[in-house]
Chains A and B, each alone.
Chain A
Amino acid sequence: AQSVTQPDIHITVSEGASLELRCNYSYGATPYLFWYVQSPGQGLQLLLKYFSGDTLVQGIKGFEAEFKRSQSSFNLRKPSVHWSDAAEYFCAVGAVSSASKIIFGSGTRLSIRP
């Protein structure tokens, strides 16, 4: 079965600073990997995904993530954060099957310091 670990519960960065959110996964085969963002009281929005090809993937809102098989990691990055990036970020791993289940990490809450 697949699993996801997001080691940072809460991160605070200054506006304009760079950001990296960590994600480690466990899955026996090549995984489908996702990053979602959740604003308070809202559903989840897909930021980016990886399942094959170039290991550096670009997403919406200026985010990118790099798949590193040797480290079982899929860290999310942004070169310069904006106050509107304050939200909860979830890393997720999917298993290919008839059910196509996606398992989510516990999330990282991002706060932006003015």
Chain B
Amino acid sequence: SQTIHQWPATLVQPVGSPLSLECTVEGTSNPNLYWYRQAAGRGLQLLFYSVGIGQISSEVPQNLSASRPQDRQFILSSKKLLLSDSGFYLCAWGSGQGLAYGYTFGSGTRLTVV
């Protein structure tokens, strides 16, 4: 069966420090991969998506970047964190064949920038 792993679960980082969040998927190939952010008391904002290795699309301008070095690995990064980067980050995967099964989400990373 397909599983999705996201780590770390929680992270406290100082302003100006770098960031690397990792997401990996098992049990499927050629998935579409997505990064969402959930700010306190708000909905989910789509940040990046990827339909293949090295293919990254950004939905909103921001201080973050994403990479997909392998088929089932998706990384969210920043060179210098801002206070406004705090939030709950969720990785998700979807079938490259369409939306019939929706997305499967990871358990999320709570990022606090101090």
Query: In chain A, residues 3-39, which have Cβ atoms closer than 8 Å to a Cβ of chain B?
Result: 6, 32, 34, 36
A41 & B110 in contact (Cβ 8 Å cutoff): yes
Residue ID in chain B nearest A98 by CB atoms: B51
Residues in A whose Cβ lies below 8 Å from that of B51:
98-99
Closest Cβ of chain B to A12, distance in Å, is: 16
Cα–Cα distance between A16 and B22 once the two chains are bound (Å): 41
Q: In the complex the two chains form, is A42's CB within 8 Å of B108's CB?
A: yes
- Say yes or no: A99-B107 contact (C-beta < 8 A), given A94-B102, A105-B43, A106-B42: no
Task: Tell me if B12 counts as interface (CB < 8 A to partner A).
Answer: no
Residue of A nearest to B44 (CB): A104
Q: Does B90 have its Cβ within 8 Å of any Cβ on chain A? A: yes
Which residues of B are found within 8 Å of A98, using beta-carbon distances?
51
Mask of B34-66 contacts with A, CB within 8 angstroms, 1/0: 101000001110100101000001000000000
Q: Is the CB of A99 within 8 A of B106?
A: no
Residues from chain B with a CB closer than 8 A to the CB of A36 are 102, 105
Asked if A90 contacts B43 (CB within 8 A), the reply is: yes
Binding site of B, secondary structure by majority: helix, strand, loop or mixed?
A: strand
Asked if B90 and A44 sit within 8 Å, CB to CB, the answer is yes
Q: Which of B6, B32, B88, B105 contacts A99 (CB 8 A)?
A: B32
**Which residues of chain A come closer than 8 Å to B107, judged between CB atoms?**
42-43
Most buried by B among A42, A43, A96, A98: A43
Q: For the complex, what is the distance from the CA of A13 to the CA of B83, rounded to whole Å?
A: 36
With A99-B51, A99-B57 as known contacts, state yes or no: A104 contacts B99, CB within 8 Å.
Answer: no
A-B contact pairs, 28 of them (CB 8 A): A34-B102, A36-B105, A41-B88, A41-B108, A42-B108, A43-B106, A44-B44, A44-B103, A46-B102, A49-B100, A51-B99, A92-B102, A94-B99, A98-B51, A99-B49, A99-B57, A100-B32, A100-B94, A100-B95, A100-B96, A100-B98, A101-B49, A102-B34, A104-B44, A104-B46, A105-B43, A106-B43, A107-B44
Given A32-B99, A98-B51, A100-B99; 5 other pairs, CB 8 A cutoff: A43-B106, A44-B44, A45-B105, A100-B94, A106-B43
